[in-house]
Amino acid sequence: MVDPIIHTNHSTSLHRKAAEVLPFIDAYVAKKEQEIAEIEQMVERYEKRRLKEERAYQSMSTLRRLLSGRKPDHHLAVEYIHFVKKPMEQVRALRLEIEHAKSIQVSSPTDIVTVSGDLVNELYK
């Protein structure tokens, strides 16, 4: 009989003892919080730029506004989705990962916990 080939994929969720993961959680949480801060800064820069563009357009004279090109509303909507909505969805997902990691931190070292792919990658670095 032929034995099945077993592939170990470290990028999927795995079950580990909490004691194996606890030393890495603080670094993992710090890394995720840094990612959140970077994304929020990017969103804030976009919103400031957009507000600045809008103020500049509103301060123009009527003739100049008529002659200058303004982005169509659907372009602004796509920009908003790209620069604000999607990144904020990423932030929500990262915060959920942080909550999950902190729940592992609270659990007993002998408990079996489910570990996300990112944390598994952090373990094997």
pLDDT digits 0-9 by tens, 8-27? 444 455 777 777 777 888 88
Task: Give CA–CA dist 111/98, Å, rounded.
Answer: 19
* Angle between helical axes of 18-59 and 86-106 (0-180°, round to 10): 160
Q: What's the mean pLDDT in 40-48?
A: 97
For the chain, the average pLDDT equals 83
Cα angle: 22, vertex 28, 30; to 5 degrees: 120
Of the pLDDT bands very low, low, confident and very high (cuts 50, 70, 90), residue 36 is very high
Give the model's pLDDT for residue 44: 98
How many contiguous H segments (helices) and E segments (strands) does the chain have?
5, 2
Give the model's pLDDT for residue 9: 46
Query: DSSP class of residue 107?
Result: S
Q: Which residue has tokens 């598994």?
A: 120
Give strand pairing partners of 14.
Answer: 115
Q: What percent of the chain has pLDDT over 90?
A: 47
